Structure 1
């Protein structure tokens, strides 16, 4: 009986190299996915998270329709009911005023009046950094636009043949985005969207950062228009990782609707211009959102 053939040393080395290469690819793919899945944020999305963590909603509620109990001392031993205002009831549109309230618990000129309240606002100066407080202010200002801006308001048209200024485009695009529900999923001013189970990153991206660029072939205009028409990306599903992208698009809980039959060609072009403007502007800080409040609602 003949002995079994012995594996040549060279074959073992080749097999080892192949296995090592496959392990390297697997590790590389894992690292790549972990890097790509890193969440993106903006001052507005960070502010929303910080407001939740800081307990803001316990005293202020989440809307005008969610009153929060309090009492005011009317005379010695006499208390009267007084609900706490929501974060938007006073229509504060200045960053410095919001920062003063959050930092100190109450502005200096309202200290004595504040002392009459049964439940008083705490100061967060020792609990939040200055940057975190500004992020909360950015979120409050952005969310306040839902109450302040009328999506049905007419915009002032540009002169025939004249290009829109960035602010004119922002007003026109913002109205269109509100009318078509863009902010409901992508966040106010496109600064970051809602949770989306089973999506690649677990949330619907905004228009302001790298997520948007990766989904639209680096901000390619025709790709943006394809997204608007079909609610799906053409380039990303046809690329090297197209099968993975398609898997997530098919499995996510909240798919994007296609607006092909809902918007006119001119509206789609205007919306594409607006989305590119937001992306070029980048994540909006509190001071810029304060300025945009005046642009979008010039009372």
Structure 2
């Protein structure tokens, strides 16, 4: 079992025992943190040390997840470059309402799993419909959708709480009351064609939150009143640090390895597609 953490640099070499770290974790007031601070002071430049002490206390002791994450971000921003890589996080679950994350400082400290709503940006002003060239694949027979059903998670929404996974043999019954133009548009909106276009448009307008690689996708089809159709697309990207670094070499502006994106596509009786409620979220960890 590891009993100490070694800190080495050109100008110093230091070891911090896990007992000392445990003392920091168990501290209940700033005075106790202060008595231990000298043992890790070399992590930070002189002008940042007082703020770093406060941030460390909040990270360890504050029950408010937002404050805890802000403190983690502050510490990482203030720490000397040699130690930035020690500040990491993993995401163990992503949903449309929260991220479950574990913040770590090397082998010294981890928060355990905590949930946060993260931070979101809305792209409604930038993404309003599909890129015209993607509509080349509009097809009344939904051939692209049929190809994608076995390899995708597509659900038909009977009610707001009852969703049934779509099988190829269900399609004729689902689409029998749709207009031909709606079917053509649905062949884009419910297939990989539409997902790829939305992903590409997000990457164009929110480069720091680019959806890289092959994220997981879920699509939900609803038949609304007055003959309108709605497709909801949910995209989850959860890359580990190593894989994200590989993608960053091709997309340097990408900043967040863990992302959740959603979009709503409304198709009217004439087959016109309107994209709304399009947001991209990340855990809020820098």
TM bin, normalised by shorter chain, reads under 0.3
Q: TM-score, normalised by structure 2?
A: 0.24
Which structure is higher in helix share?
Answer: 1
Which structure is higher in strand share?
Answer: 2
Larger relative contact order, structure 1 or 2 (CA cutoff 8 Å, min sep 6): 1
Q: TM-score, normalised by structure 1?
A: 0.23
